[in-house]
């Protein structure tokens, strides 16, 4: 872990960009019964039951030393293949590093 953290303290080097990539899923849920609103002296009340209304996946690519990030949301989880514009964003970083002399 310390090796990873040390990367963030190094000066920025365009030929060796530091890029972080992560993805996570979020479940969309809805109410089975309409929640009861707040009333004087009583908080709002919500049933513990819910219904699933699908999923969303968030893909994030971050270049922390250059203060750049890209986030993309998709409706379904695919194999670990970065979706369209997120993959394109990472390809741009690769091309910039190659132009800067990375081997």
Quickly state the pLDDT bin for 84 (edges 50, 70, 90): low
Task: Break the chain into its structural domains and give their ranges.
Answer: 2-32+46-99
- What 8-state DSSP symbol labels residue 64? G
What's the residue count for the chain?
A: 103
pLDDT tens for each residue of 5-60: 888 888 888 888 888 888 888 888 888 888 889 999 999 888 889 898 888 888 88
Q: How far is CA 74 from the centre of its chain?
A: 11
Radius of gyration for the chain, computed over Cα atoms and rounded to the nearest angstrom? 21
């Amino acid at each position: 872990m310390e090796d990873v953290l040390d990367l963030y303290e190094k000066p920025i080097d365009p030929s060796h960009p530091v890029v972080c990539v992560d993805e996570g899923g979020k479940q969309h849920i809805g109410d089975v019964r309409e929640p009861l609103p707040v009333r004087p002296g009583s908080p709002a009340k919500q049933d513990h039951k819910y219904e699933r209304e699908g999923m969303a996946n968030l893909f994030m690519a971050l270049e922390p030393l250059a203060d750049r990030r890209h986030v993309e949301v998709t409706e379904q989880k695919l194999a670990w293949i970065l979706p369209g514009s997120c993959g394109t964003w990472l390809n741009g970083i690769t091309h910039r590093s190659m132009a800067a002399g990375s081997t």
